[in-house]
Amino acid sequence: MIEGVGIDLVHLERVRRFYNNHKDSLSRFLTPQELRAIAQSKKKSLLALLFALKEAVFKALDYHWMNWKEIEIIHEGRRSWRVNLSGAMRKWARNRRIKQIIVDGSITSKHAFAYAMALKGKT
Amino acid sequence: MEPVKQKIFDKVGECLTAALGVDRDEIKMESSLTRDLGAESIDFLDIVFRLEKAFGVKIPRGDLFPENVLSNPEFVKDGKVTPQGMVELKKRLPHTNFSDFEKEPLVSRLADTFTVKMIVEYLAGRETERV
């Protein structure tokens, strides 16, 4: 059963400016695994996509504040992502009986787009 | 406005102009970051990092904007912050004025309460701590 759906659109230029100003602070809102993925990625737009994916998950969970590091998103292959929740976000999802979160995204020349779907388990 | 707070307000204005791409004269003490200045999630990170550099302080997670209060089911029920939740928000964010929010404490409206004044009050408090 679908509990929530979230979509998000991020301007690549906005993220590029952000990165140029704060590249030393990425570890404050990305997990070590996400940081490794960005360092290894040939696509400079991966950071923008991660922003969009995380934001989409927040929306799908109907959570109204950003605990960036508590939503980890790992790319596992072509169109395959794993979402790991921790801390307050995990507690929030558990209270809402969320069993699975499906995400995907896409990058164009100007934007990163993402959607997330939170699926509820049997009660 | 007290000279100290005016000085802080001027510096905060520079940070917000750079982060949000708004004109300096759009930024007033009572401006809501989201409703009036159009801040989105990435902007809140940008604002915090810029404030840290401009003021030479470290702003710990949850210190300026709330974290983890809203995930507690005792503090949020049916999309509204409970009286217990309000007590917690006020305790964690003493620099924030919740008087309008309390009249209709919808969680979805919480970000609207984050104003320029809130940032100025927070940084003024940090200045006092340092002295």
Q: CA-to-CA distance for B40 and B95, rounded, in angstroms?
A: 21
Which domain covers residue A113, as residue numbers? 2-120
- B18 and B52, same structural domain? yes
Domain count, chain A: 1
Cβ-based burial of A87 (10 A; exposed 0-12, middle 13-18, buried ≥19): middle
- B123 and B92, same structural domain? no
ipTM of the complex: 0.88
Q: CA-to-CA distance for B112 and B96, rounded, in angstroms?
A: 11
Question: Which of the four pLDDT bands, split at 50, 70 and 90, describes residue A123?
Answer: very low
Which domain covers residue B121, as residue numbers? 1-62+115-131
Average pLDDT over residues B50-60: 95
- B54 and B2, same structural domain? yes
- B93 and B71, same structural domain? yes
Average pLDDT score over chain A = 92
Contact assignment for A29 to B41 by CB distance below 8 Å:
no
Q: CA-to-CA distance for B13 and B10, rounded, in angstroms?
A: 5
Interface of A with B (CB under 8 A): 10, 14-15, 18, 21-22, 25, 28-29, 51, 55, 58, 63-68, 87-89, 91-92, 95
**Cα-flanking dihedrals φ and ψ of residue B65, to 5°?**
-120, 150
Highest mean pLDDT among A65-69, A116-120, B61-65: A116-120
Instruction: Give the HSE-up count for residue A106: Cα atoms under 13 Å, Cβ half-sphere.
Output: 3
Residue among B122, B124, B130, B127 at smallest CA distance from B60: B122
Which tokens is A71 given?
């939503």
- B121 and B103, same structural domain? no
Contact assignment for A67 to B108 by CB distance below 8 Å:
no
Q: What's the pLDDT tens digit per position in A20-48?
A: 999 999 999 999 999 999 999 877 799 99
State whether residue B57 sits within 8 Å of chain A by CB. no
Question: Which of the four pLDDT bands, split at 50, 70 and 90, describes residue B107?
Answer: confident
Q: How far is A79 from chain B (nearest CA, A)?
A: 24
Q: What's the pLDDT tens digit per position in B20-51?
A: 999 999 999 999 999 999 998 899 999 999 99
Percent of chain B having pLDDT more than 70?
98
Q: Give chain B as a DSSP string.
A: --HHHHHHHHHHHHHHHHHH---GGG--TT-BTTTTT---HHHHHHHHHHHHHHHT----TTTSS--SSTT-TTTEETTEE-HHHHHHHHHH-TT---HHHHHS-BGGGGGGG-BHHHHHHHHHHHHHHH-
Q: What's the pLDDT tens digit per position in B74-93?
A: 888 888 999 999 999 999 88
- B121 and B96, same structural domain? no
